[in-house]
A and B are shown apart, each in its own frame.
Chain A
Amino acid sequence: MLRGSHGPARQWAMEHMIRVGKFFDAPDFVPVTQAHIMADTESLGEAGVAFLERFAALPEAQRQVLVPMITDPRGTDFDRCGELGQTQEMVSLERRASDALEALGILMTNTCINYQTISPPTPGEHLAFGDTGVVIYCNSVLGARSNFEGGPSALAAGLTGRVPRYGCHLDQHRQASHWFQVLFEPKDLAEWGALGAMIGGRTGSYWAVPVIEGPDMVPGSDALKHLGAAMASFGSTPLFHLAGVTPEAPALDAVCNPAMLEPITLGEDDLAAFFRRYAGQGGPVDVVVFSAPQLSLFEMQEIAALLDGQQVHRDTALLVVTSPAVYADAKRFGIVERLENAGAMVLKGMCFYQSYARELGQANGWRRLMTNSAKLANIIGGYGYRPVLAPMARCVASAVSGRLS
């Protein structure tokens, strides 16, 4: 491959991975069983799309990926892009990117919850996954092994079926470096996200691995989804252990020597202080967003139940964002209809912050954004929004009243 006998795409892939592998002192490559690529066009730009198109134009034997490969959310929902205020230029670029990715043999799943909906990895499975929320969940909750693979590296992995062996592929990078004792029980997804954000913010490095003791409960998949996504967002964290819950940490001492670590406690006061960072001062709410990560079927159902019998305020937009697979189920179960009858916009295959969020805000006059996603609250400030973080029920109430409740 490196010599070019398998074509220029695989040659580029090998050269790219060798550059990255050398940087991290990787001793060799490790085969992967799946790849997942983040390739929204806000990130790709014209240059990235043209790069993909060059590979897409190669003969089939030279361009097809060698392992099953799927996509992260796109930059639009093609069925709703006009209502969102996205320009023809954005949509055209998305179409070109999708065509190129499909030509490479990549399945357009357009999801960041593939671990809930497509093919959950198994313990010890080596992967090349993009999207930090996907990686941290698969490493931590499922015991699989992946580094953060950005779009180019995930593509290189798909084209070669391997990745450089460093970071989360190695045992020594899976031992805990920080010990957190949590003294409260998160009551909802926003609080699970806030807990993840506080831990990520305090570790603050890809190379740090937190182990968490307490809360005294076993969280469900959506709670761990928000915990991990926020931790990865605030801390660039690829892996955590939840003592007694996650597979590599049946007990605290399975992943660390407690005598060597000073516990960091997180209590109700810390949680309240975190929420104060994203508290609003009343006034109108422009847009309420449930996204980042995409919603599970259960989250969709819960929002629909909260909205039943009410209408979203005419001056406020309520966006509910999920994967195409969950959307199809939600439609089948009548959940999409319930949400839309109440005035919500249900979007599929995209994620709010990956969909030209700055331009969406400008086109729709959105500035005050309310969400139950700590990850989204963290990201969206850089796009010109003023985020408010609140539990799902309060977000829905604000969408109905049009004001910060």
Chain B
Amino acid sequence: MRGVGRFRTAFVSTGHVVLKCHPGMGEPVTGEALVADDDFSARYDLDRLAGVFSRPEHRLYGENYVDRVLVVNTAKGGVATAWMLHEMMSRGMVPAALLLNRVNPILAQGAAMAGMAMCDRFTDGDVTRLIRTGERVMVSPSDGRVTVYREHER
């Protein structure tokens, strides 16, 4: 399992929540969540060299997405993301995993090409409301399970 963590403050764990979803793709991964009730396209929204959201209208504008578990609503826009995830993975400038309410074919194809972890179709509701930015999550795609570690600042 890949593990990534980017915690800037000390945390104490107070439990966890397990979210069920459709079986996804990719290997299990753990990382810090970056969440927005917004949609996603690698072409439209990202400065892929800098690893940040570059589209001013996006709710994650200016945020660094590298190695974080990106949680957004759905995919938008064109087909470029299918190649771009592969290219981003080759440089290590890629989210640790993608969690969406509903994936479109392009994101699924891109994740399959890049070997990225990706899940969608959560049974408990809107995933952008079920996970908060900064929470640590463990994504288990083949099991269709995402574990959210609920933590509070010390």
Contacts and interface: CB of A to CB of B under 8 A. Distances in A.
Interface size class of A (residues with CB under 8 A): 35 or more
Given A130-B79, A131-B78, A51 B102 contact: no
Contacts of A166: 105
Contacts of A19: 25, 112
How many chain B residues sit at the interface, stated as a range, is 35 or more
A132 interface: yes
Nearest to A380: B44
A299 B23 CA distance: 46
Nearest to B82: A150
Contacts of B15: none
A48 interface: yes
B78 A206 contact: no
Contacts of B57: 381
B67 interface: no
Q: Is the contact region of chain B dominated by helix, strand, or loop, or is it mixed? A: mixed
A345 interface: no
Contacts of B104: 148, 205-207, 236
A24 B118 CA distance: 13
Interface string B75-113: 111111111101101110000000000111110111011
Main secondary structure of the interface of A (DSSP, over half): helix
A384 interface: yes
B112 A23 contact: yes
B105 A206 contact: yes
A123 to B, nearest CB: 22
Contacts of A354: 80
B112 A51 contact: no
A235 B44 CA distance: 13
B102 A206 contact: yes
Contacts of B77: 132, 232-233, 236, 378-379
B31 interface: no
Nearest to B87: A45
A275 to B, nearest CB: 16
Contacts of B39: 204, 236
Interface stretch (A36-44, A218-226, A302-310): A36-44
Contacts of A148: 79, 104-106
B87 A48 contact: yes
B147 interface: no
B32 interface: no
Contacts of A46: 87, 90
Contact of B109 (A43, A153, A205): A153
Contacts of B150: none
19 contacts: A16-B109, A19-B25, A42-B80, A45-B90, A47-B87, A48-B83, A130-B79, A148-B105, A151-B83, A152-B82, A204-B39, A206-B75, A206-B102, A206-B105, A207-B102, A235-B76, A378-B77, A379-B78, A384-B54
Given A23-B22, A45-B91, A236-B74, 4 more contacts: A48-B86, A132-B79, A206-B105, A353-B43
